[in-house]
């Protein structure tokens, strides 16, 4: 019997000799993950066009990922017995919905897998860009007009709807990585499209960089530096250029945002540079970590219990100074796990 050769659909552009072939397509097409027919490399493609049923699976996956990945990061509501009750419930519901939807879409799927990872990268980028816009609105005192959809804070503070500057800065870092991936993966064809695409990429980079700078997060500064360093390891030239441009835009934002805000409000503003120079006194991380180490020494094997760091910090009589800021976590993952669950 003659051998039957079945070709499978590859939803991502083809890589050949270090070059990415394919096009920078519109957001709906990126979500769907369809191949963009714009190069001669497609001459061997013998695929049949997508049926309506297959196209519907792509669209459902795109919408499912877009909602379940973005919603937990922009959810503005935090009512409940604890401030994180509603955010945790929303995040858990979205994660469960995504997993169930993924399983249902995979059932009976053909060789063309509808659940493409490109949709996840686009959703992460969308979440980061939306949160960045919220953060800059907060920074310049525009959040009042956007309430209750954007958390209200004082001028000069930026954290989106995450209510914590480090988490907000970390989201901009995730958005930066997603943007670098998408810009590297989908290369436009033609100078006109290249200029338009790079303009959109530059605008997204600028928004993420300014939002991270507005957060004045030291964690965010370290993360962006690490992303840039990793992109200078064996990596595509475009990723190196974009990562370096992102770091430069971030540095400009660190210097200029406090100056612009002081000019607009007439009040001196504290940014990342001031946070790096100032002595935090009883709110310093060194003092916090010293307190946490003392708590670990009291219960090294089984810890104080999950979520009990605040209670332990409140009742324990430290031998030295006490961390005086509102304490939610140890700001150090190994120490936090050790103090609540024990060293083992």
Q: Write phi, then psi, for 16 (nearest 5 degrees).
A: -145, 120
Distances from the Cα of 200 to the Cαs of 55, 179, 289, in angstroms?
A: 27, 11, 42
Of the candidates 253, 161, 248, which has an alpha carbon nearest to the alpha carbon of residue 216?
A: 253
Whether 11 has a pLDDT exceeding 50, the answer reads no
* Mean pLDDT of all residues belonging to the chain: 77
- 147 versus 51: the higher-pLDDT residue is 147
DSSP calls for 136-181: HHHHTT-GGGGTTTS----TT---TTTT-HHHHHHHHHHHHHHHHH
DSSP calls for 115-129: --THHHHHHHHHHHH
Q: Give percent of the chain above pLDDT 90.
A: 25
pLDDT at 62: 82
> Cα separation of 128 and 69, whole Å?
11
Specify the residue for token string 């936090």. Answer: 336
pLDDT at 208: 96
pLDDT band at 42 (very low <50, low <70, confident <90, very high): very low
- 333 versus 110: the higher-pLDDT residue is 333
- 120 versus 1: the higher-pLDDT residue is 120
- pLDDT tens digits along 216-250: 888 889 999 999 998 887 767 788 888 899 999 99
- Residue 340: strand, helix, or coil: helix
For the chain, the C-alpha Rg in angstroms (whole number) is 24
Q: Write phi, then psi, for 191 (nearest 5 degrees).
A: -65, -40
pLDDT at 207: 95
Whether 84 has a pLDDT exceeding 70, the answer reads yes
Q: What's the pTM value of the predicted model, to 2 decimals? A: 0.72
**Buried/exposed code over 84-112 (b: 16+ C-beta within 10 A; e: otherwise):** eeebeebbeebeeebeebeeebeeeeeeb
- Work out the average pLDDT over 257-266: 86
pLDDT at 41: 39
Whether 335 has a pLDDT exceeding 50, the answer reads yes
Q: Write phi, then psi, for 28 (nearest 5 degrees).
A: -60, -40
CB neighbourhood size of 168 (10 A)? 28
Cα 15 to chain centroid, rounded? 26
- Work out the average pLDDT over 71-75: 91
Specify the range with the lowest mean pLDDT, choosing from 158-172, 301-315, 323-337: 323-337
Whether 13 has a pLDDT exceeding 50, the answer reads no
Report which listed range, 35-39, 223-227, 318-322, 329-333, is most confident: 223-227
pLDDT at 279: 60
Cα 137 to chain centroid, rounded? 18
DSSP calls for 201-216: HHHHHHHHHHHHHHHT
- Work out the average pLDDT over 201-205: 91
- Work out the average pLDDT over 199-206: 90
In the chain, count of helices (H) and strands (E)? 12, 2
- 236 versus 200: the higher-pLDDT residue is 200
Q: Give percent of the chain above pLDDT 70.
A: 76
Report which listed range, 19-23, 118-122, 172-176, is most confident: 172-176
């Amino acid at each position: 019997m003659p051998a039957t050769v079945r070709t499978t659909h590859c939803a991502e552009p083809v890589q050949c000799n270090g070059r990415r072939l394919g096009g920078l397509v519109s957001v709906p097409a990126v979500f769907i993950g369809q191949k963009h027919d714009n190069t001669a490399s497609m001459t061997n493609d013998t695929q049949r066009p997508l049926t309506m049923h297959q196209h519907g699976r792509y669209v459902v996956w795109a919408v499912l990922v877009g909602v379940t990945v973005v919603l937990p990061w922009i959810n503005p509501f935090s009512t409940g017995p604890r401030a994180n009750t509603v955010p945790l419930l929303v995040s858990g519901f979205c994660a469960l919905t995504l997993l169930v939807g993924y399983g249902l879409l995979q059932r009976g799927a053909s060789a063309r897998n509808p659940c493409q990872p490109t949709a996840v990268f686009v959703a992460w980028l969308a979440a980061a860009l939306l949160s960045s816009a919220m953060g800059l609105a907060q920074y310049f005192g525009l959040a009042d007009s956007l309430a209750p959809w954007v958390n209200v804070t004082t001028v000069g503070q930026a954290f989106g709807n995450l209510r914590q500057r480090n988490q907000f800065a970390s989201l901009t870092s995730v958005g930066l990585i997603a943007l670098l991936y998408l810009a590297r993966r989908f290369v436009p064809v033609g100078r006109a499209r290249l200029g338009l695409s790079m303009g959109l990429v530059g605008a997204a980079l600028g928004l993420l960089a300014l939002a991270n700078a507005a957060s004045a997060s030291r964690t965010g500064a370290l993360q962006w530096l690490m992303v840039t360093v990793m992109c200078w390891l064996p990596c595509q030239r475009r990723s190196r250029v974009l990562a370096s441009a992102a770091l430069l835009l971030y540095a400009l934002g660190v210097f200029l945002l406090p100056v612009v805000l002081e000019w607009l409000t007439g009040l001196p503003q504290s940014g990342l540079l001031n946070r790096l120079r100032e002595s935090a006194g009883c709110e310093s991380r060194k003092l916090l970590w010293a307190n946490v180490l003392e708590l670990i020494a009291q219960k090294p094997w089984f810890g104080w219990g999950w979520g009990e760091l605040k209670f332990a910090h409140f009742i324990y009589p430290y031998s030295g100074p006490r961390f005086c800021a509102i304490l939610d976590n140890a700001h150090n993952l190994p120490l936090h796990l050790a103090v609540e669950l024990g060293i083992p």
